[in-house]
Amino acid sequence: MRFEELRIAGAALVHIEPRTDARGFFARTFCAHEFAAHGLPAAAVQASVSYNIRAGTVRGMHFQWPPSQEGKLVRCLRGRLFDVLIDLRPDSVSYLQHQAVDLDQDNRTAVFIPAGIAHGFQTLADETEVLYQMTDFYLPELQCGYRWNDPQFGISWPLPATVISDRDAACADFDRAAHESEYRQRHAAAVPAPR
């Protein structure tokens, strides 16, 4: 595998290195030793798949509040998608920056998304299927999201949104002061008191 750092602190593209022969190819998509050597979590505790019928489908922008340590390794198994990361960690050097990457069935690249990053995507082809591997267990009480097309983030989505869930469409716009206050309260509550 080949790892390519992204502009978002702690995020990376993970490129496979296929070995080809007359049958096709074989490639590793995950190795705990290699991930650890690149400073990425070396274990996944859950995996999910997202199947999207129509091009233009939007999912996001989702994240988990502290104390969640839910990072994600996201890979497009079929179709194409425009995958977006927004750094929502107030102490990060890339706070409030966003970055988009193209993932598709041909490049077979994955993106690692650290905890504290909002994630979403838009499908660029019908019948797009996406695999997620998560580094922490999903906790519904820590789930949150911001509006996918909030102008404060300035994301240039490639297509009009054709399908979006009611929940995602109803996400709030980003309020920096409220976000930072909530983040710091939850982060402080998650840190054990000194003995």
Positions marked active-site = 62, 132
Is 75 in contact with 106 (CB distance < 8 Å)? no
Q: What number of residues does the chain have?
A: 195
Would you tell me how many other CB atoms lie within 10 Å of the CB of residue 121?
A: 27
CA 141 to chain CA mean position, Å: 19
The tokens describing 115, both together, are 């905890």
Residues 6+ apart with CB under 8 A from 84: 60, 61, 98, 99, 100, 119, 120, 121, 122, 155
Q: Which helix (H) or strand (E) holds 24?
A: strand 24-26
Residue owning tokens 């990457």: 101
Q: Which helix (H) or strand (E) holds 83?
A: strand 80-87
Residue owning tokens 């990425």: 40
Helices (H), the chain: 32-37, 166-169, 176-190
Best CA proximity match to 107, nearest among 4, 22, 34, 35: 4
